[in-house]
Amino acid sequence: MKHFIALRDYSQQELQLILEQAFLLKSQQKQKTRHRLLEGKTLAMIFEKSSTRTRVSFETGIFQLGGVGLFLSSQDLQMGRGEPIKDTAVVLSRYVDGIMIRTFAHETVEELAMHSSVPVINGLSDLLHPCQIMADVMTMMEHSPKPINEIEVAYVGDGNNVANSLVYGAASLGYHVRIATPPGYEIPERIAEHARQIATSTNARITFTHDPAEAVQGCDFVYTDTWASMGQEEEKQQRLDDFRGFTVDEKLMSLGSPDCKFLHCLPAYRDMEVSADVCDGPRSIIYDQAENRLHAQKAIMAYLMT
């Protein structure tokens, strides 16, 4: 049995298999053909963080595959009142066929998986966001004529869970990524080093800089995320000061390739991390990206739960 906690846990071939399934499921949905691959299966969905895309995409996805999703907020669970994560994991494993969790501490995901006898999916933690990156890779493949191992993506902004997983995705799948963060907001060195080690088998190029222009030069996609994630609201003013010069605007986008596209995992704060004219302009593919959460996660659930 496998969990889906970090992209680093999967080989290039495994991730490619999941992506192929995601494209197949998307195509079948467009043709109004649905395969009930998870007929009678139940997914427990634990939310310690509020959500729009994660909840709707997982709940819709499990339904379209023939199963049932159970929304469990931390306020509804005994886990929110201090019950050990082990007890929650063991008991839920006896009720359901899979568990998805969207939480703060990455250690919560790892402990849940340690004690669960059914697959656990990391819907988001403060360290990693692997489901998002699978949707991102789908979107880049749809919007680029290049094979995945030739795609170049620049990430401009906070070295957060999205950046961490984008780096792991590059290492495992072979696309090239350049990460531009302000000083003090780099991704953890242990993740950077681990990704470099994995990348030796896929020939991915992973580079880091403090200069957004250097990262974006000639790239196929420019990606950013909010500067202050949930739980970081008290740091917002400091971050606004520290991230000055890191807004993705038309001037920065013009440094990419002629067909350069814009990515954002949403929610987006226009005229902060991205200018409104870029976010809502012709280069933006953020809604395709958001839709692909549904298809990518259906493929992940099917891979783990069948």
260: Cβ contacts below 8 Å, ≥ 6 apart: 216, 219, 220, 221, 222, 253, 283
* pLDDT band per the 50, 70, 90 thresholds, residue 274: very high
Catalytic residue selected from 126, 176, 225, 295: 225
Among residues 290, 285, 289, 288, the alpha carbon closest in space to that of 54 is found at 290
Does 215 share its domain with 251? yes
Model pLDDT for residues 36-65, shown as the tens digit of each residue = 999 999 999 999 998 999 999 999 999 999
d(CA 47, CA 170): 28
Does 143 share its domain with 271? yes
User: Is 102 among the residues known to form the active site?
Assistant: yes
Question: Average pLDDT, stretch 251-275?
Answer: 98
* pLDDT band per the 50, 70, 90 thresholds, residue 76: confident
Give pLDDT, residue 230: 63
Q: Which two structure tokens, joined as six digits, stand for 245?
A: 């010069």
Catalytic residue selected from 176, 178, 293, 295: 293
Give pLDDT, residue 80: 66
- Counting Cβ atoms within 10 Å, is residue 239 exposed (0-12), middle (13-18) or buried (19+)? buried
Question: Average pLDDT, stretch 162-176?
Answer: 98
Q: Which domain range does residue 152 map to?
A: 131-289
Q: Is the pLDDT of residue 233 over 80?
A: no
Under DSSP, is residue 273 helix (H, G, I), strand (E, B) or coil?
coil
What number of helices (H) and strands (E) belong to the chain?
12, 9
Phi, psi of 46 (to 5 degrees): -95, 125
Does 94 share its domain with 167? no
Give pLDDT, residue 279: 98
Residues making up the annotated binding site are 51-54, 78, 102, 129-132, 161, 225, 229-230, 265-266, 293
Supply the CATH number for residue 264's domain.
3.40.50.1370
- The domain total for the chain is 2
Give pLDDT, residue 120: 99
User: Residue 302: which H helix or E strand, with range?
Assistant: helix 286-305
Residues making up the annotated binding site for carbamoyl phosphate are 51-54, 78, 102, 129-132, 265-266, 293
48: Cβ contacts below 8 Å, ≥ 6 apart: 73, 74, 80, 101, 102, 103, 104, 108
Does 58 share its domain with 193? no
Does 95 share its domain with 119? yes
Model pLDDT for residues 276-304, shown as the tens digit of each residue = 999 999 999 999 999 999 999 999 999 99
Q: Is the pLDDT of residue 258 over 80?
A: yes
Does 149 share its domain with 274? yes
d(CA 300, CA 10): 12
Q: Is the pLDDT of residue 194 over 80?
A: yes
User: Is 178 among the residues known to form the active site?
Assistant: no
Does 139 share its domain with 207? yes
Q: Is the pLDDT of residue 141 over 80?
A: yes
Does 70 share its domain with 28? yes
d(CA 263, CA 31): 26
Does 124 share its domain with 257? no
d(CA 281, CA 8): 34
Catalytic residue selected from 55, 97, 126, 132: 132
Catalytic residue selected from 158, 239, 264, 265: 265
User: Is 132 among the residues known to form the active site?
Assistant: yes
| Omega of the bond leading into 267 within 30 degrees of 0 (cis) | yes
User: Is 265 among the residues known to form the active site?
Assistant: yes
Does 139 share its domain with 259? yes
Give pLDDT, residue 32: 87
* pLDDT band per the 50, 70, 90 thresholds, residue 86: very high
Does 270 share its domain with 237? yes
Give pLDDT, residue 51: 92
User: Is 293 among the residues known to form the active site?
Assistant: yes
User: Is 288 among the residues known to form the active site?
Assistant: no
Mean pLDDT of the chain: 96
Does 213 share its domain with 97? no
Under DSSP, is residue 262 helix (H, G, I), strand (E, B) or coil?
strand
Higher pLDDT, 58 or 30: 58
Q: Is the pLDDT of residue 257 over 80?
A: yes
